[in-house]
Structure 1
């Protein structure tokens, strides 16, 4: 009688993803998920643990924002994680723990594969000089207002995850001094 209450094993359904698995996915989240799957299949525990931690941070950001975060936010999460790990590696090296420092450095190298290439200073200078030439300015305008307008136009053209904001600010100040 108890046997009739259970479903036979051959009737249980398993669903599998039928989505195409491309090597280079456009979305950073998809690239992370694909890398986790391949690391798990190849039994690379260190890679899968590291990437799972990053994916957990992404899911946490999703829940905080009450919606899925965009790709640039995922990239910024990966950047922050890489910075944390490189800081930890420096502290481990200072403490004489080269084994742990090597582990953190390998995780930084792994995470850097998921970061988009950053723009060079020359590329940033080129974009900023075009923007400065296009943005109208009055001599009576506040310089901070002009700075804000240039930043606004710059970040509509360029994704924030592909540039270092401190470098952009420094280059903009240099370019504005040469123009004035």
Structure 2
């Protein structure tokens, strides 16, 4: 199990270390050369979001982790839009949104599996929480310890929250 986890972390860190911004830009150039308006429009929209975040960042350019977070949010928005289009019987538009999700997902590293999240949360809980401690106060300590070990772009924050709450209930 430990070897498997090390392989996952090694794969994820090598993925994060590659310059996601450069990959997006390169793919945009290829799409423009191939006159692929679908891909170029999708990639331009995400690159525009990244550039807007760059302007708001005091360091001028945001890091790979923030870029991955922006892409994850963009895919989530498109998934939500696809669901709304299906409800409205606009299957053509839903399909377009799904294709955009597929394109953007190719730039994302895989999320940590639930079992690894649980293991890391348990470690944080063992280190940070004393028996009988206020669960609200304990959860803050757990999140801080967890996210000091794990990049936020590599996990689903809703899943982390649900798992932490479940583990805290079982810990009391």
Q: TM-score band, normalised by the shorter chain? A: 0.7 to 0.9
The separation in 2 between residues aligned to 1:42 and 1:25, in whole angstroms, is: 28
Q: 1:175 aligns with which of 156, 167, 170?
A: 167
- Please, which runs of 5 or more residues in structure 2 have no aligned partner? 1-15
- Please, which runs of 5 or more residues in structure 1 have no aligned partner? 1-23
Structure 1 moving runs of 4+ over 3 Å: none
Residues 85, 93 of structure 2: 8 Å contact kept: yes
The separation in 1 between residues aligned to 2:94 and 2:148, in whole angstroms, is: 38
- Is 2:131 aligned against 1:149? no
CA drift of 1:138 comes to: 5.5
Q: 2:80 aligns with which of 81, 87, 90?
A: 87
- Evaluate the alpha carbon distance shift between residue 101 and residue 144 of structure 1 in structure 2; reply closer, same or farther with a 3 A threshold: same
How far does the alpha carbon of each residue in 1:130-178 deviate from its partner, in whole angstroms, 9 at most, with x for none?
2222225263x43222211111010010010111111111111211222
Q: How does 1:1-180 map to 2 (within 5 A)?
A: 26-66=18-58, 67-135=60-128, 137=130, 139=132, 141-180=133-172
Q: What is the number of equivalent residue pairs in this alignment?
A: 156
- Evaluate the alpha carbon distance shift between residue 48 and residue 92 of structure 1 in structure 2; reply closer, same or farther with a 3 A threshold: same
The separation in 1 between residues aligned to 2:123 and 2:134, in whole angstroms, is: 20
Where relative contact order (Cα < 8 A, 6+ residues apart) is larger, the structure is: 2
TM-score (norm 1): 0.79
CA drift of 1:25 comes to: 7.2
TM-score (norm 2): 0.83
